[in-house]
Amino acid sequence: MQEECKPTMNTGLRGVTVASTKVSDVIGAEGKLIYRGYLVTDLAARTSFEEVVHLLLHEKLPDKEELEHIKQQLTAERHIPGALIDALKTCPSDSLPMDILQAAVPMLANHDPEAADQNKEAAVRKAVRLIAKLATVLAAWERIRTGKTPVSPDPAMDHAENFLYMLFGEKPDSDLVHFFDVALVLHAEHSFNASTFAAREVASTRAHMYAAVSAAIGSLSGELHGGANVRVMQMLKEIDTVDRVKAYINTVLDEGRLIMGLGHAVYQTDDPRAHILAPMAKRAGELAGETKWYDISTVLEKEGKAAFKARKGIDIYVNVDFYSASLYYAMGIALDLFSPLFAISRVAGWTAHVIEEQYAGAAPKPTLYRPQSKYVGEYCGPDECRFVPLDER
Ligand SMILES: CC(C)(COP(=O)(O)OP(=O)(O)OC[C@H]1O[C@@H](n2cnc3c(N)ncnc32)[C@H](O)[C@@H]1OP(=O)(O)O)[C@@H](O)C(=O)NCCC(=O)NCCS
């Protein structure tokens, strides 16, 4: 008989520590998210996405010279192969943008002579390439699927500004550039969530950076992970007016459904990122001439928390998706690009984790992931499997 292994429940690995990491930490009880020793609230207030990329990949905040260098590297890597653009043009316009992003990754590998190079310096270069190029792929796809010509990257612009420029085809408003840069910082890393674990699991086999990032994008595409911000916006649209918020909450809770954007598997306070995104959502709404979605969100937060307390006797808190939805919507970004926006930021965290997984940034050295499962199927014989030939079945 098979040896019993523990735990035997379908735990989803909750509460199981599978590795050590120096990349980030979430202190759920205190509402703190920390990238390599720095609070994300400080990073969002005082750094750019490029600085955070340097922090995650090189384990330190850059000095001025290093910042200039990482910016140059990212800028130099923004272009994507013409063959990839041609391939995107063959995809149906209703292809899911997360599928497009995921499909682009192995194609980028095919055009990278260093794809299979296993040394650490090459891995860092591949990380920079992926961070730079995924933004270009996403912007190009948005243009192509809406019948427009992809916009070439502008080397004079930083990462956030250049992405919005490639997406919309015109120089973006400076406030929106700042908001998007902050959003990129806030979404860049979040410890061992499902997609990061997927990346690390693939990396643990010594597969290359592109294979790991492709797996991570697939993981992020699920509605329980990267898809929640879209669901928040759909919910806001369903509510439609502030005076319908209370009735909506009651209906949803009566039916045992979820209020999207509330609750978190790790935080036992408001998600620190939500408090940074909220004022930006408000301002972006004002710039767009429509604060309705932000207004509904604030009332929903207040009334949702109160209803939850009254019904269940427990507190519930806002998560990162609650206000990013109305922010992105006010910026004029299509709903189905919300999760891909998450991906083009989180790729910085994924690649940092892949490097750590493969080059042992934290002791003890990582090993090949190989969990066990408990077999609950049948054995065909009394002591062992008895094969039944085809004509006897
Ligand atoms: C994130 C999430 C999966 C965490 O769930 P969890 O770990 O079960 O959270 P808790 O243990 O605190 O839940 C306690 C109770 O509140 C309920 N609950 C949690 N979040 C809820 C929400 N947003 N709306 C309604 N009920 C909710 C749970 O179902 C559970 O109910 P029960 O005691 O009757 O089983 C959950 O809060 C959720 O689905 N939120 C909405 C989706 C979302 O915004 N996801 C993005 C996360 S970043």
In the chain, where the domains are located: 24-223+342-359, 228-330
Quick check: do 24-223+342-359 and 228-330 share a fold? no
The active-site residue out of 264, 270, 271, 353 is 264
- What are the pLDDT digits (tens) for 209-250? 999 999 999 999 988 888 889 999 999 999 999 999 999 999
Region 73-78: what's the mean pLDDT? Answer: 98
For 40, 106, 180, the CA distances from 333, given in Å and listed in that order, are: 24, 26, 11
The active-site residue out of 190, 208, 321, 353 is 321
Indicate whether 23 pLDDT > 90. yes
Give the number of the atom of ligand 1 that is nearest the alpha carbon of residue 258: 24
Amino acid making up residue 296: I
264 labelled catalytic? yes
Half-sphere exposure of 213 (CA within 13 A, CB side): 33
Dig out the tokens for 378 from the structure: 């049948």
- What are the pLDDT digits (tens) for 125-167? 999 999 999 999 999 999 999 999 999 999 999 999 999 999 9
Give the burial string for 180-192 (b: 16+ CB within 10 Å, else e).
Answer: bbbbbbbbbbbbb
The active-site residue out of 69, 178, 225, 275 is 225
Give the number of the atom of ligand 1 that is nearest the alpha carbon of residue 319: 48
Q: Which CATH superfamily is domain 24-223+342-359 in?
A: Citrate Synthase, domain 1 (1.10.580.10)
Which residue's entry shows tokens 């806030």?
A: 186
Using CA atoms of 72, 125, 112, 185 in order, give the dihedral in degrees to the nearest 10.
-70
Bridge-based pairing of strands 32-35 and 24-27 is antiparallel
Mean pLDDT of the chain: 94
DSSP lists the bridge partners of residue 32 as: 27
Region 67-88: what's the mean pLDDT? Answer: 98
Region 23-39: what's the mean pLDDT? Answer: 96
Q: What angle do CA 360, 362, 367 make, to 5 degrees?
A: 50
317 Cα to the center of ligand 1, angstroms: 10
* CB 193, CB 225: distance < 8 Å: yes
| Least trusted range by pLDDT, from 1-15, 255-269, 321-335 | 1-15
Which residue's entry shows tokens 């759920």?
A: 28
Element at 134 (helix H, strand E): helix 120-145
Compute how many other C-beta atoms are within 10 angstroms of the C-beta atom of residue 372.
Answer: 12
* CB 213, CB 350: distance < 8 Å: yes
pLDDT at residue 363, rounded to an integer? 65
Region 275-292: what's the mean pLDDT? Answer: 97
pLDDT at residue 2, rounded to an integer? 45
Position 324 confidence tier, pLDDT thresholds 50, 70, 90: very high
- What are the pLDDT digits (tens) for 345-387? 999 999 999 999 999 766 667 789 998 888 888 888 777 788 8
225 labelled catalytic? yes
What do you get for the CA distance between the two ends of the chain, in Å?
24
pLDDT at residue 25, rounded to an integer? 97
Taking CA atoms only, the protein residue closest to ligand 1 atom 7 is 265
Total-model pTM: 0.94
- The helix/strand/coil state of 242 is helix
Region 187-213: what's the mean pLDDT? Answer: 97
For 62, 68, 87, 188, the CA distances from 71, given in Å and listed in that order, are: 11, 5, 28, 16
pLDDT at residue 330, rounded to an integer? 98
Separation between Cα atoms, residue 133 and residue 151, nearest integer Å: 13
pLDDT at residue 7, rounded to an integer? 54
Of 388 and 148, the structure prediction assigns the larger pLDDT to 148
Indicate whether 105 pLDDT > 90. yes
Q: What angle do CA 225, 229, 233 make, to 5 degrees?
A: 145
Contact residues for 44 (Cβ-Cβ < 8 A; gap 6+): 182, 185, 186, 273, 276
Position 1 confidence tier, pLDDT thresholds 50, 70, 90: very low
CATH of domain 228-330: 1.10.230.10
Taking CA atoms only, the protein residue closest to ligand 1 atom 41 is 260
pLDDT at residue 6, rounded to an integer? 57
